[in-house]
Structure 1
Amino acid sequence: MRHTNYIGAFIAFICLILGQPIQAQVHQLTMDNAVKLALDKNRDLQVATLETAKSAQKVQEARGYALPTVAGSAQYLYYINKQVSFLPGSFVGLSDNQLATFRVGGSNALLGGVTVSQPLFQASVRSGIRVAQLDESATTEALNDVRATVVTVVKKAYLDVLITQEQLRLQQQRVARNQQALKDSRSLLAQGRASRVDTLRAFVTVENLRPTVIQLTNRIGITKTILKRTMGLDELEIIDLQDSLRYDEALFSSPGSDAFLDAVQARPEVRRLELIEKLNREQIVLQAAEKQPKLSAIGLVQSQSQANNFQLGDYKWPVSSFVGLQVNVPIFTGFRTNSRIQQAQITRRQSETQVANLKAIVRAEVKIGLANVEEARLRIETQHQTITVAELGYRITSDRWKQGISSRLDLSDAELSLTQAKSNYLQAVYDFLTATVDLDKVLGRVK
């Protein structure tokens, strides 16, 4: 009975534990931590990393063509009708123009051997290795490009969450100001110093602001979902952002006078295209090498035996072997090699055009990126002063309204101007931060 009570108590305890809601772990994320998580968990980056591993194996494969090839073979044959050999008829008393047939060999035939082939001269092997190495380097630059893109996207997604949170906070402040105005209006109405219309207008203003609060609250969840997906986190994970949306010009390092040249040298996609151009040049050499002769050393060791039974211990296993040189000289391939050379030359010209086009795009992106940063910085300075003036105007208008000097409409206009000034400043800070993130990618400064 005592054991039964213990078991019942244990089961009840387990049920109690299982019945409690499991508290999900909250990730306290700074922007730097978000970037580190993304570099570790982002699936696009994982795919690009695997691609670099595959290109490294291609280099090993290309080098393998310069190594000897060793192949073993074994064969068993059962002759339903034994092999036939032909001899001159004179051997068996027939006329000279007749042939005699003899069935020779055993019913069971066994054959085994080892073949070795070592390339001695094959120009395509060296070119193939260089092509594989260039492809590996280009794939590494593609990985760097994906990494820079992931870092940029994560930072911008992080900023999207921050600005949405700040917009919600700004809207909640606006609701609080209008709720206070509604409270003051009701108080003044009770004193006979405000009209019922002003009170109704204040009530309607407060209620019209509530849907925006709901919308922004929902948008925070959406932007966090996008951020988690970009970082590679599960949808059920809970994140709490620790950074704030603030303006600090010291965080932005202005590029030098040769920003375009620095960007061209630092951008991984530019380096990748330049490597692809070199790869395409080497492809021409590789295809041309197919016209050259190929020299290989070959060898064979072989043993065979035949018998009419399976008494393997009585079998004779004579061994034959040879070594030699094999030359393969292409004479006519149906113009396939020439066609492949022409294709490689066209591809090289395409890559040259792509490199020139990308450099022109980089030049434009640098110019646009610098202009966006400067524009956002000027807007921040202007809006910072505007907020100070708007706050002073709202306080003066609020005091005048309480004294019955200003109308409710004047107070609404002052409150709207204050909200707009804060919203414009918030948007300018967001635009400045996103512009610096974009500019870092444009200049190739994302590490």
Structure 2
Amino acid sequence: MGLVGYTQDLNEKSYSLDDCISIALENNLDLKSTELRAGSAKVNHQQSKANLLPSINGNFNLGVNDGRSIDPFTNDFINQELTFSNMGLSLDMTVFNGFRLLNAEKQNRLNRKASELEKEAAQQDLVLNVTLAYLQVLNSKAVLDLTKVRYETTKQQLKIQEDFYENESGNPADYADILGQMANDETSILVSESNLNNARLSLLRLLNLPENIQIDAESIMIDFDKYNLSADEVYAEALQNLATFKANEMRIEAAKKGVSVAKSQFTPEISVFGGVNTNYSSAAELFSETGTSIVETGDFVTVGGQDLPVQTEQTSFSSDGISYTDQLDNNLNTVVGVSVRVPLFNGFRAKNNVTLEKIRVEESILELERTYLDIKNTIAQVHFDMEAVYNRYQSLQKQVKAYEESYRINEIRFNNGVSNFLNYVTSKNNLDNAKVNLVNAKYEYILRVKVLDYYRGNIF
């Protein structure tokens, strides 16, 4: 009779709990998402601080115009190809707007701190989840080892009964019953292997690793001293140490600043502005006097019956283009001013925004209260279960010792033909089940202690 069992590659690296926690903190996707949100909150805070600074902008234009247009240099109409250019520098700064920018900076600073605390809380949750998943793997592996030992014991008994059966001595039904027990033990091994595989997959998902891993059972120190702290004492420490409480408190403060930001929409906004501008035109020319000459005007005067042409003195000019840099210097102009914006009516937008922000404050307070209540109830339940499983573990230890003695006696009696198979297998199953229950109780106790330590802030 053969059995395909769980195998382990001896060359695989064995991971301790600390190794798994380090890998999870580096690879876990949910934690990465939380870190990205914290990064966004940091950028938002930096931008809100930058919003307090003046806004400075520059502009530059260069183009060609053909046809009738206005000369930007003389403001006269011209009908020719024109190359134009202008540039400027402007400044705008808010002087007062009901402290909206200041309160927005404070709000974003609080949101940034809250995001950092939420990141810390996510790390704490991840460490706890990895620890629990790691312990579940150890628990499943311990149960699998017990089922394998049970299988080997049944296999040895089968060999004894097989000899009796072949020699036509003993009860033939005992041999058939042993075969059935072997099949039952094989099924138990397969179920235990499946449970171990599922536990490993749960751990791998937290670590974000594609391959299977082996874990180091010796890295877990098991202490079965009775837990000394009460549920109220654990909760009191949780209030001081859990980042999730501090994060929710920061969210409340940030929401209150949001109300102040919304109220600033009722106040006037005062800002100052200034600018420097200049321009260039290819049609711009500089005229220089080159001399004078006498020219006829085309008019005539009659003197003594004789028409004489009218002449005048005309000044001659020569034109030269004005250089680009000279035009920029000559056309330079500046502007400064103050702008006041007074909100008179905006469709009750400001009033409704203030109301919405006040609702967000109430929502944040309710979320904190819900967190208080949920964690307090969770700690109470875990503490109660921890005490119950501790007492159960003590009872199971006594039960295992009793069943070990019962099994020892019944095995001797059965092998010597004094007892029947039913008594033997009942004693064997009682012992095997008691050992499995003891292992489960052991890890259930450790799991609950780890959860309580997490709430106390001692998970790292």
Q: Under TM normalisation by the shorter chain, which class is it?
A: 0.7 to 0.9
Distance 2:340 2:255 in 1: 29
Q: CA deviation at 1:431?
A: 0.9
Aligned to 1:50: 36
Distance 1:237 1:400 in 2: 45
Determine which of 278, 285, 300 is the counterpart of 2:253: 278
Aligned to 1:402: 415
Aligned to 1:35: 21
C-alpha deviations, 1:181-213, integer Å up to 9, x for none?
222223344566521011111112112321332
Return closer, same or farther for 1:25/1:171 CA change in 2, 3 Å cut-off.
closer
Determine which of 171, 186, 197 is the counterpart of 2:147: 171
Return closer, same or farther for 1:170/1:245 CA change in 2, 3 Å cut-off.
farther
Q: Does residue 313 in structure 1 map to residue 323 in structure 2?
A: yes
C-alpha deviations, 1:245-283, integer Å up to 9, x for none?
774225966358533232223222222222111111110
Distance 1:50 1:418 in 2: 53
Distance 2:86 2:51 in 1: 28
C-alpha deviations, 1:42-92, integer Å up to 9, x for none?
22222222222221111110001111111001223544321399xxxxxxx
Q: Does residue 367 in structure 1 map to residue 380 in structure 2?
A: yes
The aligned amino acid for 1:327 is V
Aligned to 2:12: 26
Q: Given that residues 235 and 455 in structure 2 are in contact (C-alpha distance below 8 angstroms), is that contact kept between their aligned partners in structure 1? A: no
Distance 2:397 2:252 in 1: 50
Q: CA deviation at 1:373?
A: 1.2
- Determine helix, strand or coil for the equivalent of 2:13: strand
Distance 1:208 1:309 in 2: 105
Aligned to 2:398: 385
Q: CA deviation at 1:102?
A: 6.1
Aligned to 2:299: none
Q: Given that residues 142 and 268 in structure 1 are in contact (C-alpha distance below 8 angstroms), is that contact kept between their aligned partners in structure 2? A: yes
- Determine helix, strand or coil for the equivalent of 1:445: coil
- Determine helix, strand or coil for the equivalent of 2:240: helix
Q: Does residue 356 in structure 1 map to residue 369 in structure 2?
A: yes
Distance 1:181 1:111 in 2: 102
Q: How does 1:39-188 map to 2 (within 5 A)?
A: 39-79=25-65, 80-83=67-70, 103=77, 107-122=82-97, 123-188=99-164
Aligned to 1:17: none
Q: How does 1:268-307 map to 2 (within 5 A)?
A: 268-307=243-282
Distance 1:34 1:255 in 2: 30
Count how many residue pairs are aligned between Structure 1 and Structure 2: 409
Distance 1:312 1:328 in 2: 42
Distance 1:249 1:221 in 2: 27
Aligned to 1:205: 181
TM-score (norm 2): 0.82
Determine which of 430, 436, 453 is the counterpart of 1:423: 436
Distance 1:431 1:420 in 2: 16
Q: How does 1:260-275 map to 2 (within 5 A)?
A: 260-275=235-250
Aligned to 1:440: 453
Identity %: 18
Higher helix share: 1
Return closer, same or farther for 1:25/1:142 CA change in 2, 3 Å cut-off.
farther
The aligned amino acid for 1:316 is Q
Distance 1:24 1:205 in 2: 31
Q: Given that residues 226 and 390 in structure 2 are in contact (C-alpha distance below 8 angstroms), is that contact kept between their aligned partners in structure 1? A: no
Distance 1:312 1:370 in 2: 90
- Which structure has the larger Rg over C-alpha atoms? 2
Higher strand share: 2
The aligned amino acid for 1:293 is P
Distance 1:274 1:152 in 2: 23
Using the TM superposition, name which of 127-136 and 347-356 deviates more: 347-356
Return closer, same or farther for 1:325/1:244 CA change in 2, 3 Å cut-off.
closer
- Determine helix, strand or coil for the equivalent of 2:272: strand
- Determine helix, strand or coil for the equivalent of 2:436: helix
Q: CA deviation at 1:221?
A: 3.2
Q: Does residue 322 in structure 1 map to residue 335 in structure 2?
A: yes
Return closer, same or farther for 1:117/1:245 CA change in 2, 3 Å cut-off.
closer
Return closer, same or farther for 1:441/1:81 CA change in 2, 3 Å cut-off.
farther
Return closer, same or farther for 1:104/1:291 CA change in 2, 3 Å cut-off.
farther
Q: CA deviation at 1:328?
A: 2.1
C-alpha deviations, 1:121-168, integer Å up to 9, x for none?
231111011110111011012111211121111111111211111111
Which structure 1 residue ranges, 5 or more long, are not aligned?
A: 1-22, 86-100
Return closer, same or farther for 1:346/1:335 CA change in 2, 3 Å cut-off.
same
Which structure 2 residue ranges, 5 or more long, are not aligned?
A: 1-8, 286-320
C-alpha deviations, 1:316-346, integer Å up to 9, x for none?
2210012232222222222111111111111
Distance 2:168 2:64 in 1: 120
Using the TM superposition, name which of 103-112 and 403-412 deviates more: 103-112
